[in-house]
């Protein structure tokens, strides 16, 4: 089967994969790519495809041992090679990217350490730095409760200041206050950042953050007053041990309260820290949402890689023009319609995620240097919410489409696709459930529109200055002659049209909050429209700024056009109702989509190769780079334990014996 994929790759310009790898997707230039490939070699030299495939046949204990072996290898490699902080982060990311091998320590790096850096004072951070660096501490992020998730203000866990002890008492006063869902809490973490209501002299000062030790550092057993456990098997992501914690008046030092922005003295005096820029912390925490956007794109791109490669190798059904031959599955128009839009969606999400993460990092630097532009902060928040909502919905649906596109073999765990479906499904809930999160985008957009209406367009971030055109006559586009600028303008016009609908609807309510709560369907739709517009805008911006050879640029233009046309077709009713497109545009866009599918078909394999996944990272016997699908399937099947004697001896044979006796 190697020859098939070799022939497929020969259909594209020879430098297409390299240019996309270095300038468009993960790497950001030759230097970054070399670093990525070097670090990946350090990890994968200690793994094999057979070992990572074994994940699908092992029980959770064996899986956890494997992921901890990988974690240990990564951390020892960082020490042995003297890797820089950036290299260490990248190596950890590469390790977490292996399908099925997510480590419980992911939450230590992704949530615990950023919380310490964002919320705790420089003195606190300095005091604890060595314990974090040496892995004496493995942390988790303890926010969600059994009865409360997205509504942070309603959390019930209490932190009561005991003045005479100079300590806080952490307590779970109700069943619903039990902390439930934090990753790494069940088995891995020995310490965490916990969110609880600060109570001082009977006064509730709201939810604050505290450092709390969970387990003995020497024995790893839970400390007195703390009950810890696992929440049970999940839909996926089971190598990460989500757990619960109940606290029975557990005391922690006063200095374990996060004191970067607020302090509490021994005498119980609560005060704000002068000069501390909470905005920096806010954007730092928002960056997690942008990492999740990129993660959604990565998972979808893995599924697209597996499905496209397998569909190129697989032959099924008689060729109508030559019945003696079987059709290459990727040559079916229906299969192209299934898979190639998913490929385009992957590009769009990854490109936007990378660009938006850079924007958030620049915003953090700007605020740290003294700028407190509230508009930039609000836009960062609204954009992160909207794109996270859209990207997670798009990728969760898209991975399942790819799985179905692989037929029966896609139902096998060893295909890697069920794991991707389950892994990615968390993104629609994590970091804010999507319908809840979309309300944040709606509120921000309406407030900024109100500012524009009041003549303060200049105060808006540059990315939203187009709000001043909200009452301009709607342009009608010709769907047969759309440029990248036209696509961006179309999605912008649709966004403004839906925003006006929401504005008009909200005007009938006494408050913005009531208006949004009473119109959550429209609010979610508005958020999705904004998310789609941002992806189109960022993809178009990249097309206009990336140095790429003309023959490769033409192919990337088609990927962009396929993403846009596919979204136009899905939301055609919006564009027709708002007058952005004429009625005939529906059939014109269908014709255009089919034409683009045909143009991209010869480059499909190279376009997924450009995502840069190794066989170990994909962990799929259908998505192998060499195309040896059937060998991999049989190797996995032969390695699978298949002892039939248990069912025969204990159940089938006794049943047969009883049936014989009954007959006699």
SS (H, E, C) 478-498: CCCCCCHHHHHHHHHHHHHHH
> Helices 520-545 and 550-570, interaxial angle, to 10°?
170
Q: Is 305 annotated as a binding residue?
A: no
Q: Is 144 annotated as a binding residue?
A: yes
Residue 26 near residue 648 (C-beta atoms within 8 A) = no
Q: How far is CA 198 from CA 116, 176, 258, 278, 504, in A?
A: 18, 18, 11, 18, 40
357-362, Cβ contacts within 8 angstroms, sequence gap of 24 or more: 357/287, 357/290, 357/291, 357/293, 357/294, 359/383, 360/283, 360/286, 360/287, 360/290, 360/384, 361/287
- In a 3-state reduction of DSSP, which class is residue 327? strand
Report the Cα 425 to chain-centroid distance in Å. 9
Question: How far is Cα 630 from Cα 317, in angstroms, rounded to an integer?
Answer: 18
Strands in 226-230's sheet, in edge-to-edge order, are 179-180, 243-247, 226-230
List 536's β-bridge partners, or say none: none
Q: How far is CA 503 from CA 44, 444, 470, 614, in A?
A: 53, 12, 12, 48
Tokens of 415: 């295909």
Residue 188 near residue 104 (C-beta atoms within 8 A) = yes
What value, to the nearest 5°, has the Cα angle with vertex 575 and ends 569 and 577? 125
Q: Is 431 a catalytic residue?
A: yes
CB atoms within 10 A of CB 604: 24
Q: Which residues of 167-204 are buried (b: 16+ CB within 10 A; e: fewer)?
A: bbbbbbeeeebbbbbbbbbbebbbbbbbbbbbbbeeee
Q: Which residues of 629-654 are buried (b: 16+ CB within 10 A; e: fewer)?
A: beebbebbeeeeeeeeeeeeeeeeee
- Give me the catalytic one of 431, 468, 488, 513: 431
Question: How far is Cα 143 from Cα 515, in angstroms, rounded to an integer?
Answer: 28
Look-up of token digits 């962009």: 560
Q: Write phi, then psi, for 226 (nearest 5 degrees).
A: -115, 120
Strands 226-230 and 315-319: unpaired
Q: State the DSSP string of 595-619.
A: HHHHHHGGGHHHHHHTT---HHHHT
Tokens of 118: 């964002």
Q: Binding site: what residues are annotated?
A: 144, 183
Binding annotation for FAD:
144, 183
Residues serving a catalytic function are 431
């Amino acid at each position: 089967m190697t020859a098939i994929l070799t022939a497929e790759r020969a259909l594209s310009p020879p430098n297409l994969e390299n240019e996309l790898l270095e300038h468009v997707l993960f790497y950001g230039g030759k230097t970054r790519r070399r670093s990525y490939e070097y670090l990946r070699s350090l990890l994968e030299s200690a793994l094999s495809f057979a070992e990572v495939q074994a994940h699908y046949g092992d029980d959770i204990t064996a899986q956890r041992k494997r992921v901890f072996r990988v974690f240990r290898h990564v951390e020892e490699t960082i020490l042995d090679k003297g890797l820089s902080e950036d290299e260490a982060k990248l190596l950890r990311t590469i390790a977490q990217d292996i399908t099925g091998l997510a480590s419980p320590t992911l939450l230590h790096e992704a949530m615990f350490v950023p919380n310490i850096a964002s919320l705790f004072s420089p003195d606190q951070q300095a005091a604890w730095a060595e314990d974090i660096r040496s892995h004496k501490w493995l942390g988790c992020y303890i926010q969600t409760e059994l009865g409360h998730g997205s509504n942070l203000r309603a959390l019930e866990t209490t932190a009561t200041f005991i003045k005479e002890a100079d300590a806080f008492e952490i307590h779970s006063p109700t069943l619903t206050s039990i902390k439930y869902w934090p990753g790494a809490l069940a088995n891995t973490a020995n310490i965490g950042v916990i969110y609880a209501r600060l109570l001082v002299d009977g006064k509730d000062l709201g939810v604050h953050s505290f450092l709390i030790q969970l387990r003995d550092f020497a024995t790893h057993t839970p400390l007195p007053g703390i009950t810890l456990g696992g929440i049970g098997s999940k839909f996926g992501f089971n190598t990460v041990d989500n757990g619960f914690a109940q606290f029975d008046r557990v005391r922690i030092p006063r200095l374990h309260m996060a004191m970067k922005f607020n302090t509490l003295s021994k005498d119980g005096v609560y005060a704000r820290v002068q000069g501390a820029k909470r905005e920096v912390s806010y954007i730092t925490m928002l960056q997690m949402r942008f990492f999740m956007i990129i993660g959604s794109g990565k998972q979808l791109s893995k599924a697209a890689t597996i499905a496209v490669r397998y569909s190129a190798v697989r032959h099924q059904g008689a060729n109508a023009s030559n019945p003696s031959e079987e059709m290459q599955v990727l040559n079916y128009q229906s299969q192209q319609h299934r898979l190639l839009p998913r490929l385009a969606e992957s590009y769009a999400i990854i490109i936007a995620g990378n660009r938006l993460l850079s924007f958030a990092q620049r915003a953090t630097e700007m605020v740290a240097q003294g700028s407190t532009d509230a508009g930039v902060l609000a836009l960062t928040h609204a954009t992160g919410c909207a794109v996270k909502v859209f990207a997670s919905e798009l990728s969760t649906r898209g991975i399942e489409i790819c799985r179905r596109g692989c037929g029966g073999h896609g139902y096998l765990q060893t295909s890697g696709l069920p794991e991707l479906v389950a892994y990615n499904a968390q993104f629609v809930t994590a970091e804010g459930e999507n319908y809840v999160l979309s309300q944040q985008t709606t509120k921000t957009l309406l407030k900024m529109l109100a500012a524009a209406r009041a003549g303060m367009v200049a105060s808006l971030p540059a990315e939203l200055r187009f709000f001043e055109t909200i009452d301009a006559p709607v342009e009608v586009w010709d769907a047969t002659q759309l440029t990248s600028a036209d696509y961006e303008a179309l999605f912008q016009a649709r966004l403004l049209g839906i925003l006006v609908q929401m504005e008009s609807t909200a005007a009938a309510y006494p408050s913005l909050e009531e208006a949004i709560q009473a119109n959550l369907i429209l609010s979610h739709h508005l958020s999705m429209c904004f998310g789609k517009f941002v992806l189109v805008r960022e993809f178009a911006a990249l097309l206009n700024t990336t140095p790429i050879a003309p023959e490769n640029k033409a192919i990337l233009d088609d990927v962009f056009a396929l993403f846009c046309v596919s979204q136009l077709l899905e939301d055609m009713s919006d564009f027709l109702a708002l007058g952005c497109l004429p009625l005939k545009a529906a059939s014109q866009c269908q014709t255009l989509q089919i034409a683009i599918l045909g143009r991209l078909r010869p480059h499909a394999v190279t376009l997924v190769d450009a995502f840069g996944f190794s066989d170990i990272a994909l962990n799929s016997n259908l998505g192998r780079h060499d195309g040896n699908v059937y060998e991999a399937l049989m190797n996995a099947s032969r390695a699978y334990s298949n002892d039939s004697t248990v069912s025969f001896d204990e159940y089938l044979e006794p049943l047969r014996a009883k049936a014989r006796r009954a007959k006699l």
